[in-house]
Each structure stands twice: as C-alpha cells, then as structure tokens.
Structure 1
C-alpha cells in the first residue's frame, strides 16, 4: 500500500511488481512508514549506469535525508564502489525544490531525461 501511494506506481498500474528485472534490495522501516528500493540492472536503455533508487517513499518514518543516508550504506555493503542515481518527476511532486531530500543527503543533479525527469546521482567516496 505504501508503494501504491508513490507517484511511480501510477504508471505501473498493470503490474503488481514494485521493481523490474535485475537485482534489487527492498527496504521497509519497522513501522511501515518508509519504503526504499534499489535496483541493479545489467542492461538499461536510458544510458545510466550504477544502482538505481527505483522507489523512495517516506510517510513519517523520520528525516528523509537520514533515511537516504542509511539506505546508501546498505546498498554499498552489497555493491561497493557503485554510482547511485535516481529520477525525480518535478511535475508529480509538491515541492519547489524537487529532490531536496536527496540533495540534503549529498546527491547532485547530473542531468535531465528526455521526458523531463531530473537525474540525481551520488558517487562513492574515494
């Protein structure tokens, strides 16, 4: 139900899957108020590489940027040294600063998709 309230669920109504093919890590807080999904795919048609934050939804589990930092540590334990990236749909969220919680966690805007989604990334520390 938490995923169904995420804006990306709207485009995936026909499928019951939260994440597509590939390897994934699905994180849910103990109180079921935050969901974080990492996805690693061998082949992508969007030119991106690394580990994709496919879903992040926080409905009061704590400070969003702190949850992101925790999720980073988990994904880097499994796939050390990988670039992390995500897409943010500015038109589908209620924010004057789309991706603000990721930016506060040290992510940076690195581009825009053809459909107008912001691409944010975080590189592993050297």
Structure 2
C-alpha cells in the first residue's frame, strides 16, 4: 500500500493556500505563535511555583501540635459523618487557623478536618493558641 494519497492531499492544500511560499509563511507564523504561547505558559508556571514556595517557606507560626495525640472524653458529631466517642484518640496532622486535620486512630476513613474549638471542648486538646 502506497503513501501517494497523503502527498496528493498535501499538494492540494499547498495549492489552495497560494503555493509553497504562502505555505512557508503560514507554517512560520503558526510556529512563532506556538513558541510565544509556550514561553508565556512557562513563565507563568515559574511565577506560580515561586509564589507557592514563598508561601510555604514564610508560614507565620508552625503548628505546634503536629504529631501529638489527644483523647476524646465525650461523644460528639464532628461533621462529614465523623462521630467521635469517649476514649477515641485523635492525632493532629496539620492545622490552619482553627481548622485541624486529624487522624482518628483506628478509623479507616482518615483524615478529617475538624474545628479546634470543638476538639478542645470534647478532649484534652488545650487549644487557645493560634495554630496558623
């Protein structure tokens, strides 16, 4: 099976747009547009990465409770289907303001985001310090 059909299609296209000189101009224009758009996307991506790195490196106060485990002393619903019961142990994974990302030890559906105020009211979590 030959490839003559493809060459015939290309020849027809070049003839339709005004010949080889016009085809080269169109190809050069398309390549320059792709080059400019790619450069802009690259520069934008670099700027975004730099901003994210800066945000991570300049975090005001590190979360002092990361890795600590607290024991729940009264039953409570914490939202998102999470029911904390007396005796549950909760490990702090991350915090941002009053929101805590926690692991309920022994629960297969971890992690959960809960309020620091709620955790303080139902466990031995001390709270009272800005977590972000």
Q: TM-score normalized by structure 1?
A: 0.20
Q: TM-score normalized by structure 2?
A: 0.20
Structure with the higher fraction of residues in strand conformation? 1
Structure with the higher fraction of residues in helix conformation? 2
